[in-house]
């Protein structure tokens, strides 16, 4: 268990650093924009890598690398990749209703949670 936690922690440090550097790179190439291009870039790229890794690891017997790559690196890079994988897994199982509910609740409740956190914290500092 300790080794797995170490894998996740190391992967997370690498993924978070890659996320930061990707954002910096996007900013340097495109300049300041009103659209969050850096965020959407890491979300799409992370989802692509997650999909590629899931198939690659399953075919090559490398699923033991999942904590390091999927939870650690890709989790630190973008949690959207995990969200995408869970959604596609539900769809592939034929659970279209659950997949739709998962997407709607994940997005809606996450935005709601963020807004609630902002309102509550603004109340503290008002």
4 is in an annotated binding site: no
Q: Rounded to whole angstroms, how far apart are CA atoms 105 and 99?
A: 10
> What is the pLDDT averaged over residues 10-16?
97
* Dihedral class, residue 35 (left if φ above 0, else alpha if ψ from -120 to 50, else beta): beta
Q: What is the per-residue pLDDT across 65-113, written as a single tens digit (0 to 9) for each?
A: 999 999 999 999 997 888 998 999 999 999 999 999 999 999 999 999 8
Instruction: Give every CB contact of residue 42 below 8 A, 6+ residues apart in sequence.
Output: 19, 22, 23, 77, 78, 80
Instruction: Give every CB contact of residue 98 below 8 A, 6+ residues apart in sequence.
Output: 90
Per-residue pLDDT band for 124 (boundaries 50, 70, 90) equals: confident
41 is in an annotated binding site: no
Q: What is the per-residue pLDDT across 26-77, written as a single tens digit (0 to 9) for each?
A: 999 999 988 888 889 999 999 999 999 999 999 999 999 999 999 999 999 9
Per-residue pLDDT band for 21 (boundaries 50, 70, 90) equals: very high
């Amino acid at each position: 268990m300790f080794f797995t936690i170490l894998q996740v922690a190391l992967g997370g440090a690498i993924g978070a650093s890659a996320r930061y550097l990707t954002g910096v790179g996007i900013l340097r190439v495109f300049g300041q924009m009103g659209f969050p291009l850096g965020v959407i870039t890491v979300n799409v790229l992370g989802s692509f890598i997650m999909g590629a890794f899931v198939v690659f690891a399953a075919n090559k017997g490398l699923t033991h690398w999942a904590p390091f790559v999927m939870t650690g690196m890709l989790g630190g890079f973008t949690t959207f990749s995990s969200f995408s994988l869970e959604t596609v897994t539900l769809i592939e199982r034929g659970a279209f209703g659950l997949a739709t509910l998962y997407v709607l609740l994940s997005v809606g409740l996450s935005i709601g949670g963020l807004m609630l956190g902002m309102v509550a914290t603004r109340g503290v500092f008002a």
